[in-house]
Homo-oligomer: A and B are copies of this chain.
Amino acid sequence: MTYASGRHFLQIPGPTNVPDPVLRAMSAPTIDHRGPEFAELGRELLRDIKPVFGTTGPVIMYPATGTGAWEAALVNTLSPGDKVLCFETGHFATLWQEMAHGFGLEVDFVLGDWRHGASPEIVAEKLAADTAHEIKAVCVVHNETSTGVTSRVGDIRAAIDDADHPALLLVDTISSLGSIDYRHDEWKVDVTVAGSQKGLMLPPGMSFNAVSEKALAASKTARLPRTFWDWQPMLAANERGLFPYTPNTNLMYGLKEALRLLYEEGLPNVFARHARHAAATRAAVRGWGLEVLCLDEREHSGSLTAVLVPEGVDADKVRAVILDRFDMSLGAGLGKLAGKVFRIGHLGAFNDLTLAGTLAGVHMGLVLSGVRIDARGMDAALEVLQSD
C-alpha cells in the first residue's frame, strides 16, 4: 500500500471504525484473569451488556469472532437430526444453514431473492403444517449484511406464537446489534447471536449469545458435542465475573468503553442516527438515479445500503477505483450478488460529515468509473441531513 494522507474511510458494513477512546482503552496492560480486579470487570460487563440486547437474562461472551457464536447457538440447543427452518435472505443466511447442515441438522431452507427479509407468512405456514413439532428452531438473520435487508423479527415472533409452536427462535444480529432497534426479551428470542465489530464499535474478536430460559432448558438435553462453546461452564464461572478459560481481556476493556459511549449517546438516539443516515444514503442513491437492493420499505437496513450498479458495470471495479483514488473501502457484492452491488456501511461510530464524505466518494468514484449519475444525489442526501 502506498501511504495515503488523512484517515482511511472504512465504509464496509463492518468491521466498523473503532472510536479512538475504545482503541486507547484496549491498549491498557493485560491483567490477571483470575484476580479480583478482573472479576469486577467481568461482572460489570456481563451486567452492562444486557440493555444492548434488550434483555435481562444472561449474555454469554465468547473470546472468538461471530461465526463461533453462530455455532454456539446451534450446538447448545440442538441434537443431530433436528429439523430447523432457515430463510435464504442472503449470503450469511446461506452460510448459517450450511453450518447447520454440517452439524447433521435437517434444514428446511426457504429460498429467496436476496431482496426481502424472512417472510412471517411463510413461518406461519410452515409451523402450522408442522403439527408433529418436528421443527426445533427457526433461524433468522435480523440484518443481512450482504443485502442491507432486515427481517421483521417481531412479526416472525407473532407468527410463531399464532401457530402455537414450540420451536426455538434463533436470531443473528451481527450487523444490527447496537445499530438497529432490537428486543431480545420482548420478541421472545431464544438465542441472539452477535459480534463485537459492528454496532458495538470494537475490533473483531468477541461474540455473544443472549439466551432465554427456554434455550437454557433446551441446552440441558441438546446432544451436539461442545466444549469451547458450552454455555453451562460459562454461566457457572460468570457468576463470579470469571470465565472457564482465558477470556480476551483487552477487548473487554474496549467493550467497557464502547458501552459507555453507546449509553452516553442513548440507544434510542443511536438507532435514530443510523436510520437517518440510511435515509440520507437512500436519498443519494435514488438522486443519482441508481437502485437500492432492498425492495420492501419496511425492511431497509439502518446499518448498510446495498446499491445495484447498472447493467454492464462491474461493481468491484467501481470499488477498486474508489479505494485507489479516494482511500475508501466499500463492501463487495457477495455470493450471487458479486459484481452487481456495492455496499455502503453507515454503522457504528459515524456522523453526518463522515457520511457526506462517504457519499461524495461514491459519487466521484461512479463518475470516474463512467457510470452516468445525476449530480443531485449529494444534494438530496444533504437535504436529509440538514432537515432534522
Residues of chain A touching chain B, judged by Cβ–Cβ distance below 8 Å, are 1, 3-10, 12, 15-21, 23-37, 40, 62-68, 71, 99, 102-104, 195, 197, 203-205, 224-228, 244-251, 261, 264-265, 270, 273, 323, 325-329, 332, 349-358, 360-361, 363-364, 367-368, 375, 378-379, 382, 385-386
Contacts and interface: CB of A to CB of B under 8 A. Distances in A.
Contact of A203 (B224, B250, B378): B250
A342 to B, nearest CB: 12
Contacts of A24: 24-25, 27-28
Contact of A353 (B349, B358, B378): B358
Nearest to A96: B227
Given A63-B65, A250-B205, A31 B7 contact: no
Contact of A17 (B6, B36, B378): B6
A15 B7 CA distance: 16
Contacts of A250: 18, 26, 203-205
Contacts of A326: 351-353
A334 to B, nearest CB: 9
Nearest to A35: B329
A49 B20 CA distance: 26
Contacts of A4: 351
A224 B386 CA distance: 55
B351 A356 contact: no
A386 B3 CA distance: 19
A378 B355 CA distance: 14
Given A204-B249, A205-B251, A382 B363 contact: yes
Which 4 pairs across A and B sit closest by C-beta, in order of nearness? A357-B357, A6-B351, A356-B360, A64-B64
Contact of A32 (B36, B329, B353, B361): B329
B103 A246 contact: no
Given A20-B29, A357-B357, A360-B357, A99 B246 contact: no
Copy count, this protein chain: 4
Contact of A65 (B204, B248, B367): B248
B265 A9 contact: no
A221 to B, nearest CB: 16
Given A29-B18, A364-B385, A6 B349 contact: yes
A137 to B, nearest CB: 16
A5 B64 contact: no
A31 B323 CA distance: 12
Contacts of A20: 7, 28-29
Contact of A364 (B16, B35, B382): B382
Most chain B CB inside 10 Å of its own CB: which residue of A10, A32, A195: A32
Contacts of A17: 6-7, 29-30
Contacts of A360: 352-353, 356-357, 360, 378, 382, 385
Contacts of A36: 1, 323
Q: In this complex, which of A23, A66, A327 has the most chain B Cβ atoms within 10 angstroms of its Cβ?
A: A23
A99 to B, nearest CB: 5
A319 to B, nearest CB: 9
A26 B27 contact: yes
Contacts of A247: 65, 204
B65 A354 contact: no
